Amino acid sequence: MLFSSSYLVPAAVSFALALALTPLVRAAARRYGIVARPKADRWHSKPTAMLGGVAIYAAVVVTYLLLVPHTRQGWVVVGASTALFAVGLVDDFLHIKPYQKLIGQVLGASAVVYFGLLLPWGWGASVAMAVTIFWLIGITNAINLLDNMDGLGAGISAIAAVFIAANFAVNGQMTEAATLAVFAAALMGFLIYNSNPASIFMGDCGSMFVGFFLASSALLSSAGDRGRSFIVVIAVPVLILFIPIFDTTLVTVVRKLSGRAASQGGRDHTSHRLVALGLSERRAVWMLYAFAASSGLLAMLVRQFEYHTGIAMVAGFAVVLTLIGVYLAGVKVYDEAEVQAAREKPLVSFLVDLSYKRRIFEVLLDVVLVILAYYAAYVLIFGSELSREVWTLFLSTIPVLIFVKMTALLVSGVYRGIWRYISLDNLIVYAKAVVAGSVASVLALLFAFRFEGFSRAVFVLDAMIFFLMLAGSRVAFRLLRQMLPSSAGGGRRVLIYGAGDAGELLLREMRNNLQLQYTPVGFVDDDPFKKGKVIHGLRVLGGNGNLRRICEEQKVEEVLISSSKIEEERVRQILRECDEAQITLKRMRIEIELVGHEY
Q: Give the residue ranges of DSSP H helices in 68-173.
A: 72-94, 98-114, 125-146, 152-171
pLDDT at 428: 94
Higher pLDDT, 61 or 95: 61
Domain assignment present for residue 363? The answer is: no
CB 5 within 8 A of CB 67: no
Do 138 and 208 belong together in one domain?
yes
Domain assignment present for residue 366? The answer is: no
Do 102 and 217 belong together in one domain?
yes
Do 169 and 315 belong together in one domain?
yes
- Average pLDDT on 31-54 reads 81
Do 497 and 530 belong together in one domain?
yes
Domain assignment present for residue 517? The answer is: yes
pLDDT at 45: 65
Domain assignment present for residue 197? The answer is: yes
Higher pLDDT, 81 or 346: 81
CATH number of the domain to which 500 belongs: 3.40.50.720
pLDDT at residue 349 above 60? no
Contacts of 364 (CB under 8 A, 6+ apart): none
Domain assignment present for residue 596? The answer is: no
Do 244 and 315 belong together in one domain?
yes
Maximum mean pLDDT: which of 256-265, 316-325, 478-487: 316-325
Contacts of 209 (CB under 8 A, 6+ apart): 53, 56, 57, 81, 82, 84, 85, 88
pLDDT at residue 90 above 70? yes
Do 239 and 288 belong together in one domain?
yes
- Average pLDDT on 359-376 reads 89
The residue segments making up the domain with residue 502 are 492-587
Strand partners, 585: 559
* Average pLDDT score, the chain: 85
Do 459 and 516 belong together in one domain?
no
Distance CA 361, CA 372 (A): 17
What are the Cα distances from residue 370, in Å, to 50, 146, 393, 408, 564? 50, 34, 16, 12, 48
For 522, which DSSP code? E
Distance CA 147, CA 357 (A): 33
Query: Which among 459, 483, 507 is the end of a domain?
Result: 483
pLDDT at residue 488 above 50? no
Asked if the peptide bond before residue 485 counts as cis, ω within 30 degrees of 0, the response is no
pLDDT at 227: 46
Q: Give the residue ranges of DSSP H helices in 383-455.
A: 388-412, 424-449
Do 479 and 511 belong together in one domain?
no
Do 265 and 413 belong together in one domain?
no
Domain assignment present for residue 370? The answer is: no
Q: Which amino acid is at 520?
A: P
Higher pLDDT, 357 or 519: 519
Instruction: Give the length of the chain.
Output: 599
For residue 48, the SS3 value is strand
Query: Which among 483, 503, 525 is the end of a domain?
Result: 483
Task: Return the exposure string of 189-223: e unless at least 16 CB atoms fall within 10 Å of the residue's CB, then b.
Answer: bbbebbbeebbbbbbbbbbbbbbbbbbbbbbbbbe
For residue 518, the SS3 value is strand
Query: Which among 483, 509, 537 is the end of a domain?
Result: 483
Distance CA 490, CA 247 (A): 27
Among the residue ranges 86-100, 461-475, 581-595, the one predicted with the least confidence is 581-595
The tens digit of pLDDT for each residue in 255-286 reads 777 767 666 667 778 888 888 877 888 999 99
pLDDT at residue 353 above 60? no
Do 290 and 148 belong together in one domain?
yes
The tens digit of pLDDT for each residue in 368-384 reads 999 999 999 988 888 77
For residue 95, the SS3 value is coil
Domain assignment present for residue 364? The answer is: no
Other CB atoms within a 10 A radius of the CB of residue 42 amount to 14
- How many structural domains compose the chain? 3
DSSP structure string for 523-578? EE-S-GGGTT-EETTEEB---TT-HHHHHHHHT--EEEE--S-S-HHHHHHHHHHH
Do 105 and 242 belong together in one domain?
yes
Do 299 and 417 belong together in one domain?
no
Domain assignment present for residue 592? The answer is: no
